[in-house]
Structure 1
Amino acid sequence: MADLFSPLRLGELELPNRIWMAPLTRCRTEIGHVPGDLMAEYYSQRASAGLIVSEATMAMEGHSAFWHEPGIYNDAQIEGWRLTTEAVHQAGGRIVLQIWHGGRACHPLLNGGRQPVGPSPLAITGDEVRTPEGKKPYVTPRELSDQELPLIVEGFRLAARHALRAGFDGVEIHGANGYLLDSFLRDGSNQRQGHYGGSLENRSRLLMEVLEAVSQETPLMGLRLSPLNSYNAMRDSDPIGLISWLAEQLNAVPLAYLHLMRADLLGQQLGDVLTPARERFKGVLVANLGYGAKEANAAIQSGAVDAVAFGRPFIANPDLPARFQANAPLSTADPTTFYSAGPTGYIDYPRLNG
């Protein structure tokens, strides 16, 4: 019977455990969205994870949603990320790059005045975005034309190619949390007509085209989805129907794993998305959101999921697998430093043995 500490085969990778590090935006890049030595230290400290999934990384220039998040669209960023991949590999770890397009969550003040884009001209409401001029309301995105969407697909394809050049073991497509691909998937944000709107098949078309293109560039491809998550003002009229249909379709592409947020961060949409995903998707299923070691272990032992990704616990506990193994107490992450600059609250959390 498998448990948290059992190895897991993922494509050509042999993972030593099933305790994954979830993608965590930390806003610590240098000028030009270039990763540096600080980020390399942060990730290498957490190399004992079964797999590290990097923070969301811009596939294309001009689509920043977090100010100091990383990119993978130019040579300086590729070389900057190489510092991280080499450090992680030297520490015995494995790491994939999460590639991403911020979509309507981007802001003109972060992108030289450029208006954000989305499936429909519907702005994110009820929240604000951090900018160099302080927090600002989100703006209404420009609706992408069907003719522009091949450029998005190409942007993801090139990002995957660049990730391999930077030394990553593979990529994860970010199809969650209200960013571009997720905003096409869900009917609360996608109200367009034509080939990319309306039916489930049409709303999923852009994602499936991205997956097909990216699969040609990398030996290992994962996908993150969040059908229930209402973050970034997201809704869907039938999230269970969405994941049930999509999980079946994903068997047609060479997907190494499906990384599924099991719940809504804000608690507004309820439902069970793991069960229909497990019933229909034939690959490795990874769950995320709110797990402790005991519940995660039980989920793996029961066969409900194959691995569990941990977010905040990995921020404050760089040696999380060792702490789980020893049943040791966990340090608590300081949310005031989640998106700040510098090493504080980033690389200074203590290890179990000092």
Structure 2
Amino acid sequence: MNTLGQWLGIPWRRSVLAAAAGALPMLTFPGPSLWWFAYVALVPWILLARTAPTGRRALYDGWWGGFGYMLAVHHWLLPNLHVFTFVIAALLGALWAPWGWLVRRLLGGAPGRGRVAGALLVLPSGWLAVELVRSWQGLGGPWGMLGAGQWQVSPALRLASVGGVWLLSFLLVAVNVAVAVLVAVRAARVPAVAGLLVAAAAGSAAWAWAPRPEVRGEVRIAVVQPGVVHGPDRRFAREEELTRRLAGQDLDLIVWGESSIGFDLLARPDLAGRVAELSRLTDTPLLVNVDAQRSDRPGIYKSSVLVGPGGVTGDRYDKMRLVPFGEYVPARSLLGWATSVGEAAGEDRRRGTRQVVMDLG
């Protein structure tokens, strides 16, 4: 332990270890999708922060862990934002600095049962406070929420039907805190075990009593996604080719991927006519996504448009939750330089203002 303490005494080594520990929850998201790992993924980070020699070092452990978490969960942005991805991760990672301090304050040294019991409530609440700030629409809405890694677990989905992803994140952090206590604080195992039992009871209660959706019927939906095709004309032609293969498949809806059409259909009746012809050929309405300058109002919108055999139906949904940097640049006057180092949006997309229900008959 003394050797390990000496090794961790070098600040940069401790920072690298904190970033690596913070990145571990990424394994619970697609594609690894190791959902079960979420119940222990935070344990190394918690164990590191609780041993911080000072409160200031605990702040750094929280910050570096948050940096690792943000970078790992958003690594898919690297081809688009390049070095700016690291800047985003560093800025958002700072939100976990107080959380790291709380870990040391509540679990550092030899905490008694009272501090451990408090940690089982305060640390999950602190994590939720961070997720709440990150979910602000100005930052693009909720991305990489810890509880979202449980998307394929039926009992977890029942919990989400009661308390949303927030309840899942809370229980996951609480379980991780309890496991960390069982590993490192043997004298306070009773509240840790009690915390695990409460989490298990909550999951069991949700499984037994949460409302179950009633199945009223089935729909057959085909998704047309051509992959990376450069140029809006070539992409449209490829989507058209793929859609023709769906004729005679007895479908209820055909969906083209996001940004599938790079032209405003109101300004291009020829393209609208070609989509309508595909609807007649397949005897199925098409839901397409337009990413283009609008002809009926200023600005670029990302709009889902329903097209039937007779053409555009008039039903249109303008995307409300835009992806930061990919579809708009927050505080463009300060961060607009991101467009020069990556593929950030050259022009901000406009947000929709309401949800839309489209009737397929």
Give the TM-score, by structure 1 length.
0.27
Bigger Cα Rg: 2
- The structure, 1 or 2, with the larger RCO (C-alpha pairs under 8 Å, 6+ apart) is 1
Q: Looking at secondary structure, tell me which structure has more helix per residue.
A: 2
Q: Looking at secondary structure, tell me which structure has more strand per residue.
A: 1
